[in-house]
């Protein structure tokens, strides 16, 4: 039975009135569902983020077992595990770890609070922005390593100086991402808050900060790995305790396996911290419908 889909007359201005165009007959094919080609990445692979590191470890194990990797250049994984065990028995790993972790987390906490407060002030007040944004960009341009001699001069070489250095480094990603997210809040929500007669405090707590949360959490991901990286830098200069000290000592004695233990601990700290923030992101931002979910 002929249907209207069998042939369609189309006249375009270019054609003469006599010409017609017939489309390809379009009959539904049985058993084939017509879906649009999916352009997004699709559902998540379970444990997808852990696959990459796992493959690297596999490579390491295989390389060492097959003799491709010289144990003098890179200790075999089982040597590192042995060293781990030794250090834990001696209690050295735990003590140094606690010292380092305390420094890093204190610096992270302080930097987080200061960075957020500065971002909020700079976003909600023009004078605040004028006073704060420039100096932050200046600090950003100076690498922590270059800043350390000055910081030693000002704050000495104690715990205070180490925590300050880490905090100063952490402020930057928190400020930049939070400030950017705050400025990007749709002005329609600002209008809404005004019509509801919200107080400045309620406006900040219920509209501004939650609205900036996605950007803030991205800044947190950077901050959380940066605090460990800054820790490494800060512990290289005259540490008398902590993971950096342990690595330094091992370097002096040529103990590659202990160095690797230290590095593995840093890597684990970084990966676990980032993973925790991503988990937090998924929980807290479950209301979003984006390419990622």
Smaller CB separation from other proteins, 74 or 285: 285
Concatenated DSSP letters of 141-165: HS-HHHHHHHHHHHHTTSHHHHHHH
Largest CA distance in the chain: 95
Smaller CB separation from other proteins, 70 or 194: 194
**CB of residue 199 vs other proteins: minimum separation in angstroms?**
8
- Contact between 202 and other proteins per CB under 8 A: yes
- Contact between 282 and other proteins per CB under 8 A: no
Smaller CB separation from other proteins, 192 or 268: 192
- Contact between 193 and other proteins per CB under 8 A: yes
Return the residue matching tokens 């539904």: 28
- Contact between 196 and other proteins per CB under 8 A: yes
- 144, 171 in Cβ contact below 8 A? no
- Contact between 70 and other proteins per CB under 8 A: no
Considering only residues 17, 33, 195, 252, which one is a binding residue for other proteins as defined by CB under 8 A? 195
Return the residue matching tokens 């050295």: 92
- Contact between 213 and other proteins per CB under 8 A: yes
Neighbours of 40 (CB within 10 A): 9
Considering only residues 210, 237, 271, 280, which one is a binding residue for other proteins as defined by CB under 8 A? 210
Q: How far apart are CA 86 and CA 14, in angstroms?
A: 85
Q: How far apart are CA 246 and CA 235, in angstroms?
A: 10
- Contact between 126 and other proteins per CB under 8 A: no
Q: Nearest 5 degrees, angle CA 95-CA 81-CA 59?
A: 130
Smaller CB separation from other proteins, 105 or 198: 198
Which residues lie near other proteins (CB under 8 A)? 188-189, 191-199, 202, 206-207, 210-211, 213, 285, 287-289
């Amino acid at each position: 039975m002929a249907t209207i889909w069998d042939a369609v007359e189309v006249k375009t201005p270019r054609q003469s009135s006599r010409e017609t165009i017939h489309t390809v007959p379009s009959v539904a094919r049985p058993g084939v569902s017509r879906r649009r080609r999916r352009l997004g990445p699709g559902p998540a692979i379970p444990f997808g983020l852990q696959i990459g590191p796992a493959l690297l470890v596999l490579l390491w194990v295989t390389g060492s077992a097959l003799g491709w990797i010289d144990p003098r250049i890179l200790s075999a994984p089982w040597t590192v595990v042995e060293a781990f065990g030794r250090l834990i028995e001696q209690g050295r790993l735990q003590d140094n770890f606690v010292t380092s972790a305390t420094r890093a987390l204190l610096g992270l906490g302080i930097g987080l609070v200061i960075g957020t407060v500065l971002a909020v002030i700079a976003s909600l007040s023009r004078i605040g922005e004028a006073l704060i944004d420039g100096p932050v960009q200046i600090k950003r341009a100076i690498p922590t390593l270059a800043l350390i001699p000055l910081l030693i001069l000002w704050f000495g070489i104690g715990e205070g100086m180490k925590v300050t250095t880490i905090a100063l480094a952490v402020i930057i990603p928190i400020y930049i991402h939070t400030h950017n997210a705050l400025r990007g809040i749709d002005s329609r929500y600002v209008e809404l808050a005004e019509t509801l007669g919200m107080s400045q405090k309620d406006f900040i707590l219920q509209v501004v900060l939650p609205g900036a949360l996605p950007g803030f959490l991205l800044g947190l991901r950077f901050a959380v790995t940066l605090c460990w990286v800054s820790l490494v830098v800060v512990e290289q200069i005259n540490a008398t305790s902590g993971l950096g000290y342990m690595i330094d000592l091992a370097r002096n004695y040529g103990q590659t396996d202990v160095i690797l233990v230290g590095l593995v601990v840093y890597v684990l700290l970084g990966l676990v911290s980032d993973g925790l923030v991503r988990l937090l992101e998924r929980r807290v931002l479950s209301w979003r419908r984006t390419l990622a979910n």
